[in-house]
């Protein structure tokens, strides 16, 4: 069975602070994919990043960076110099291929509140 | 950029009534999904659909639920006899088929969701 744990329910920071959102996953599959999605107050789910299990290179996209460590089954997300617009719920998710029809297992999400 | 479109954005219904939630996936996508999110909780998989049939479904997706692609553009979720616990945000998603160069699992593109309230 797959499981995604986001231990941080809510994080509050002041604008311009750096913040790291933790994600720990469990899977028996050797091939899998990890995702982060953002859910702003308006409710939609916005895709941020996808990582496959064979690619442990960290990735940076602007103020966002992701640290994938297979040894600790973690896929953490860091926002540098946070902004008020970053306030949202962030979901980490895990998928596995099943004949090409993969489905996502989501964590419970971390609510990030960035205050001015 | 193409979007997954869901209608209505909010639906209120009485317990026991049938509801149909509608989705228009991105036009060249071939894999379709429904997920739901009970208020304040995590997003949960309901069903995946490909080639006009269900490819996978979760335990949540019982006989009260059905999906259909009635034409070339719409993808619907029907709940036959709604219960109070069906109140949730329902997300439709779609993705591209895998090809020889792209990742085997292209990311899901989600719609904005339909908030279903069962009273």
pLDDT over 80 (residue B98)? no
Distance CA A64, CA A48 (A): 9
pLDDT confidence of B30, banded at 50, 70, 90? confident
Distance CA A53, CA A40 (A): 27
Q: What is the pLDDT of residue A5?
A: 97
The enclosing H or E element of B118 equals: strand B114-118
* Preferred mutation among A36, A45, A89, A95 to probe B, highest tally of B CBs within 10 A: A45
Q: What is the pLDDT of residue B106?
A: 72
Report the residue count for chain B.
Answer: 119
A window 5-64, beta carbon within 8 A of B: 33, 35, 37, 42-47, 50, 52
pLDDT higher for A17 or B29? A17
**In 3D, which of B107, B118, B114, B49 has the Cα closest to residue B83?**
B118
pLDDT over 60 (residue B105)? no
- What is the average per-residue pLDDT within B84-88? 97
**Side-chain half-sphere of B118: how many Cα atoms within 13 Å?**
20
* Preferred mutation among B54, B93, B107 to probe A, highest tally of A CBs within 10 A: B107
Tell me what percent of chain B is helix, strand and coil, each rounded to the nearest 5: 5, 50, 50
Q: What is the pLDDT of residue B101?
A: 47
pLDDT higher for A52 or B83? B83
- What is the average per-residue pLDDT within A83-91? 96
Contact list in A for residue B108 (CB cut-off 8 A) is: 47, 104
Q: B34-67: string of b/e by CB count within 10 Å (b at 16+)?
A: bbbbeeeebbbbbbbbbeeeebbbbebbeeebeb
- On the 0-12 / 13-18 / 19+ scale of CB atoms within 10 A, A48 is middle
Per-residue pLDDT of A50-76, as tens digits, reads 888 888 888 888 999 999 999 999 999
Q: What is the pLDDT of residue B15?
A: 97
Task: Give the β-pairing of A88-96 and A110-115.
Answer: antiparallel
pLDDT confidence of B97, banded at 50, 70, 90? low
Q: Output the furthest CA–CA distance in chain B (Å, rounded).
A: 48
pLDDT over 80 (residue B1)? no
Report the residue count for chain A.
Answer: 116
DSSP state of A15: T
- Confirm if B107 and B40 have CB atoms less than 8 A apart: no
Q: What is the pLDDT of residue B38?
A: 94
Per-residue pLDDT of B43-69, as tens digits, reads 999 999 988 999 889 999 999 999 999
Q: What is the pLDDT of residue B91?
A: 96
Lowest-confidence segment of A24-38, A85-99, B5-19, B30-44 by average pLDDT: A85-99
pLDDT over 50 (residue B25)? yes
């Amino acid at each position: 069975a797959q499981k995604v744990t986001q231990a941080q329910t809510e994080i509050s920071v002041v604008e311009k602070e750096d913040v790291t959102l933790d994600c720990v996953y469990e899977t028996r599959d050797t091939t899998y994919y990890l995702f982060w999605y953002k859910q702003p107050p308006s409710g939609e789910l916005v895709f941020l990043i996808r990582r496959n299990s064979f690619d442990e290179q960290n990735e940076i996209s602007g103020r966002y960076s992701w640290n994938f460590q297979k040894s600790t089954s973690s896929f953490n997300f860091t926002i540098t110099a946070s902004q008020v617009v970053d306030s949202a719920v962030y979901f980490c998710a895990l998928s596995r291929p099943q004949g090409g029809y993969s489905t996502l297992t989501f964590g419970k999400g971390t609510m990030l509140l960035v205050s001015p | 950029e193409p979007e997954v479109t869901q209608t209505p954005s909010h639906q209120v219904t009485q317990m026991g009534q049938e509801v149909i939630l509608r989705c228009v996936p991105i036009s060249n996508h071939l894999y379709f999904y429904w997920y739901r999110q009970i208020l304040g909780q995590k997003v949960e998989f309901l069903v995946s659909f490909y080639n006009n049939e269900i490819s996978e479904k979760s335990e949540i997706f019982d006989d009260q639920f059905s999906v259909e692609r009635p034409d070339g553009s719409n993808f619907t979720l029907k709940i036959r006899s709604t219960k109070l616990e069906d109140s949730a945000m329902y997300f439709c998603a779609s993705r591209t088929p895998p090809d020889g160069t792209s990742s085997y699992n292209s990311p899901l593109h989600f719609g904005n969701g339909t908030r279903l309230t069962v009273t």
